[in-house]
Structure formats: C-alpha cells, structure tokens
Amino acid sequence: MKKIEINTSFTAFQYVEELPQDVQSLMKQAVEVRKNAYAPYSKFRVGAALLLDNGKIVLGSNQENAAYPSGLCAERVAIFHSNAIYPDARIVKMAISAASDTNPTLTPIPPCGGCRQSISEYEFKQNTPIEIYFMGESGEIYKSDSIKNLLPLTFDKNFL
C-alpha cells in the first residue's frame, strides 16, 4: 500500500475590485447574466462568462426543467454555446457567480462535478489551461489556474 497526496492551490481575492481589470469585467457580466437563470425549482441562480482567445465573451446561465435532470448548468451552457459558434476558439478565462433566492451565498461556490468534467474536456481539447474565477453573490473570489486544481484526477479520452 502507498499513500498518494494531491495538492491544489487557489488565489483568493477579497473583492471584485482586486481582480485584474479584464476579469472584473468578466465577473460583472457573470453576475449580470445570473439574473437570466431559469431556476424556479432550486431558486439557485448561476451565471458564467467566458473570455475566448478571439476576444469574444460568451455568457451562460443555468436553465432548469421540471423533468430533472434535463436542465443545464450555467458553465455548460456557456461552454457548449462557445464551441457551437466559435469552434476553433480557446477558452482563456471563466468567471462564475452563484446566488440563492433563499439563502445568502457569501463564500466562493465552485462548479459542480458535471461542469468540472465538461471544463476538463475543453481544457484537454484545447491543450491549454483555463483560468477559473468563482464566487457567491458577494465576498471572496477564488482563482484556479486550471481545472486540474478542482478535478485533479481527470478522466479523458485517453482512458477510452
């Protein structure tokens, strides 16, 4: 038997204003598009904004459905849409903001497992890391230099 240790690291920002200027803009767009979430069941709204290497910004918000699990998370809405309209572009940065209609979200809220896998797929596809910034409705923002910090043991096409 052997013990395997995996270490990850994040950068924490106290306020949106501490972020680099381009990321501030991206996060503000994630916060704004969060308002477009269709979340009548969970009352949990998420917005995502992607910066692509062609300079375009693609937005997404979560979309729920009474026929669970037919809905889709904000991160995947944005990722899939970006690939549909800009298939050759790489995702450089992603900003995510989440808020609940019923409870304050004052700590950084990371992507769910399904979104982590989707982000991993596109990071693998483009062969460059994606910077991921995530927060609640306010408070600290965490930055990950790659999905590998959030999903250190990735599953990709090499296993198939």
Q: Which residues are annotated as a binding site for Zn(2+)?
A: 73, 112, 115
Q: State the catalytic residues.
A: 75
- Using pLDDT thresholds of 50, 70 and 90, give the confidence band for residue 97: very high
Separation of alpha carbons 21 and 42, rounded Å: 32
- Using pLDDT thresholds of 50, 70 and 90, give the confidence band for residue 119: very high
Percent above pLDDT 70 for the chain: 100
- Using pLDDT thresholds of 50, 70 and 90, give the confidence band for residue 68: confident
Q: Select from 2, 61, 4 the least CA-distant residue to 29.
A: 61
Q: What is the average pLDDT across 77-88? A: 98
If DSSP states are collapsed to H, E and C, what string results for 39-84? CCCCCEEEEEEEEECCCCEEEEECECCCCCCCCECHHHHHHHHHHH
Q: Which helix (H) or strand (E) holds 120?
A: helix 113-126
- Using pLDDT thresholds of 50, 70 and 90, give the confidence band for residue 157: confident
Q: Which residues are annotated as a binding site for substrate?
A: 62-68
Report the predicted TM-score, pTM, of the whole model to 2 decimal places.
0.96
pLDDT of residue 69 exceeding 90: no
Q: What is the average pLDDT across 42-55? A: 98
Domains of the chain with CATH codes: 11-149 (3.40.140.10)
